[in-house]
Amino acid sequence: MDLYAVLFEPFVEFGFMRRALVACLALSLGCAPVGVLLVLRRMSLIGDALSHAVLPGAAIGFMVAGLSLMMMSLGGFLAGLAVAALSGLVSRVTPQREDASFAAFYLISLAVGVLIISTYGSNVDLMHVLFGTILAVDDASLLLIVSISSITLLTLAAIWRGLIVECFDPGFLRSVGGPGARLHLVFLILVVMNLVAGFHALGTLMAVGLMMLPAASARFWVGQVATLAVLSSSLALAAGYAGLLLSYHANLPSGPAIILVAGSVYVFSVIAGTRGSLLAQWLPRRHLSA
């Protein structure tokens, strides 16, 4: 078996593989920087919560219009936003912490979603929403995913400085009259949008994987916000490419294959990364003179 057949032929031969690869590229560009910011803001699990919250919205969209791209996306987006807004509201007006209120609302949302789908949809549809179908991404969903990535990158470029300051020293931003809560809201909208993009390809359960795993891996290699974003985008793309090949050759479902590759990258980074990894701690080099 030659290298060309292993690495390139599937994409040359089959249109659905090419579309899947483009979807992975777009997801990597949008999701990974958002993931880096989630990690820096200590909100990793909130991404996870929101990805579950998207489910009932997508289910209601499905109920109303069947397997309609627009309605399921819009429903998912609104449901994610509603959970983010309600959790934010509860944690602002009561002493409840944000992670606890997020947990409460996403669980309610998830249960509603499963209830709707198991009552009104067949199990195949449930599988579609839960696990996605990156190999069946059509032109319309591809366009949606690419649009979301573009909007994400443009928005991040515009509000980057504010997001960094709000994350690093929120008290300072407040004291100089900067826009704290509004930035947080825009950022949450970006998170939900990217989860909607991800759920078409990877399903609601694994959409958050391409967001968090590369971002969590990157911190073992580089130490600045910009390099973290670039590296995690690259890692996400590499995981997408390798995952698609793996699923093609080994005949595995593609979503889990992609996330498992990203997961392997994470485990490797934890063990062998250059910054604070296990090996770096176990095999210390001699100390410096100053």
Partner 1 sequence: MSVAFDLDDVTLGYQRHPAVHHLSGQFKSGSLTAVVGPNGSGKSTLLKGLMGLLRPLDGRIDRHGVRRSAIAYLPQQSDIDRSFPISVIDTVILGHWRRIGMFRRVSHALRQQAEEALISVGLQGFAQRQIGSLSAGQFQRVLFARMLLQDAPIVLLDEPFTAIDSKTTMDLIAVLRRWHAEKRTVIAVLHDHEQVRENFPETLLLAREPVAWGPTAEVLRAEHLFKARRMAESWDDRAAVCRRGFP
Site for partner 1 contains 169 (CB under 8 A)? yes
The nearest distance, CB 60 to partner 1, in angstroms, is: 36
In the range 4-63, which residues lie near partner 1 by CB under 8 A?
Answer: 40
In whole angstroms, how far apart are CA 62 and each of 22, 87, 119?
Answer: 25, 25, 12
Toward partner 1, which CB reaches closer, 138 or 169? 169
Site for partner 1 contains 97 (CB under 8 A)? no
Which of 223, 249, 267, 274 touches partner 1 by CB under 8 A? 223
Closest CA to 201 of 114, 141, 147: 141
Strand (E) or helix (H) holding 153: helix 139-168
Interacting span for partner 1 (CB under 8 A) from 21-29, 111-119, 158-166, 191-199: 158-166
Interacting span for partner 1 (CB under 8 A) from 25-33, 205-213, 224-232, 281-289: 224-232
The nearest distance, CB 179 to partner 1, in angstroms, is: 7
Q: Find the DSSP H helices in 176-221.
A: 180-202, 209-218
Site for partner 1 contains 177 (CB under 8 A)? yes
Site for partner 1 contains 253 (CB under 8 A)? no
Token pair in block for residue 32 = 């990974």
Site for partner 1 contains 164 (CB under 8 A)? yes
Torsion of CA 111, 55, 86, 148, to 10 degrees: 170
Residue with the two structure tokens 């390809």: 201
Which of 14, 120, 168, 268 touches partner 1 by CB under 8 A? 168
Binding residues for partner 1, per CB under 8 A?
40, 158-159, 161-162, 164-165, 167-179, 223-225, 228
